[in-house]
Structure 1
Amino acid sequence: MLFMRAQFIEPMLASLVEQPPDGAEWIHEIKHDGYRTLLALEDGKVQAFTRRGADWTAKYGAVVREVAGLPVRSAILDGEMTVLNADGRSDYRAFKKAIKSSPGRLVFIAFDMLMIDGKDVRGETTIERRERLQIVLDDPPTAIQFSEAVQGGGKAFYQAADAMGLEGIVSKRAKASYIGGRTRAWLKIKSYAISELEVAGVLEGRGKPTMALMVDRQNNYRGGAFITNRGIKERLLARVRAKRLPLPKGMKAKPEAKWLEPGVMATVRHLRGEEDLRHASVEEIIREQS
């Protein structure tokens, strides 16, 4: 057996799908909202890597110090660095602030193990690797948590996560090996939320779906939302005027945009757990100033 060093390894990435898989061949975990992180431990020294290999050890100092005390000579752990609120839910905005001002709040949610004591275990199944990880984290320090999972019942698990207002779930083939890069052996299913936002403008492009430019009540640009309903599109275009002053905050120049009169509010369906709109669509116009 070749001895494996603790080092950065390209992480395995989940593919985004709309519906969770069912069946006993899948396990399911809560999807936490933070930064994907690999922790490499060897002889008491720890390095923290981002999903692209940047060394963030200095930023995650509090967690790194606790990982150094785990009962192994060497290991590579895969997980999500985040901050948990009082309800135990990951809080992305608090996480971003904690990196700069309160790193002691950071928590590493460990969900996989790639190497232990020099042995490369990526060829083992998801279940086997997680069993190894759970043994190592049998009595974990406060800054490290093991990501619990259920086997089978993906649809029911997703519905429960959605009802709790969580970001979504990650489903993994129970017998899959760990292979770096995007894969269909890991699937992420995100939850959707409905927000009330103002339609600042409309973007039309030849051969492209029409997009509504959405802002919040403070005129901060939140992103674009597809307009799939012809009636909604016609109502919005009827509100077009020459300019919008002031322009939305945080939005790059869009000279092709058609700006609307103020006060057009709409409900938007979008992925939960994102600061900006993603996979968003306009559901309904709920208010128009006459």
Structure 2
Amino acid sequence: MIAWNPGCRVRSPAYSAGSILAHFSRPNWNSYPTEYLKTSQQLQAKKINPLHLLSSTIRHHGLGHLYTGSMAFCVSNASKSGVRFFAFDTARKYMPVDAQGKVTSLGNLNAGMIAGVAESVAIVTPGETLKTKIIDDRAGAKQYRSAIHAIRTIAATEGVAGLYRGVVPVTMKQSANAMVRFTSYNFLLGQFRAWQLPSSLSTAGAGALAGVVTVYMTMPFDAIKTRLQAIGGLERYKGTLDCVQSVIRQEGITSLWRGTTPRLARLSISGAVSFTIYEKVIEQTVKWKSVEVQSAGNQVI
């Protein structure tokens, strides 16, 4: 007989995995220059080579300039991992399953969408708005002295709503990110395991390729989000749809994929690392939970 022991409560494996993964988000300080280059490319009215932008930035402003806006980005990134994985695995519990008891592809898709909305509203939009405005500001007026000063200035001039500029494309991007990333990861992982590839290689490979798929599928949302969050975006565009139409009309539809290369470099690597850590932590947490439940049962006479 196994009895419930209030002293042996164990958190959701997914929550634990997401929380530990947040700890490993700190390497984003190292990969942040790719985010800076992507955002800078998207803010340009014309196409610019990322390598040329990189060399030009270092030559004229120094290496440290590549970390403009990094505080807002890294704090946001470190916070959203736990929310994303917790929301995804919680949502999956309520999704339909197939004959083998596995969540269906549609179920994974819906759970991914829910996870994307959760992280977008809770964490991502304010962080992205702050990062984009700081990067745009450093290239022009330089009115923000720091991230904290930027928050105060935005809140004073635009209200709290100013930090949620572009919430629609951000939510669409994060929902699509989660849907595409988790769905493609689960599909690819199943294929790799069917080929009997080593477990770690399967996880890393599926995570990296899921990152590649995610980049190409979601770049338009990212591009529109950046334009709306830029300084003057509120005056320049009437809304999300107007921004899409304006960008396509003036710069062509391919401009929606501007900044793909830097983001591709970051997400393919982070996908391999994130999912490898996630699977390992899930595996260990389930083992620990099993041991604690068994221990609780042994205490029952």
TM-score range for the pair, normalised by the shorter chain length: under 0.3
- Between Structure 1 and Structure 2, which shows a larger proportion of strand residues? 1
Q: TM-score, normalised by structure 2?
A: 0.26
Q: TM-score, normalised by structure 1?
A: 0.26
Structure (1 or 2) with the larger CA radius of gyration: 1
Structure with more relative contact order (C-alpha pairs < 8 Å, separation 6 or more): 2
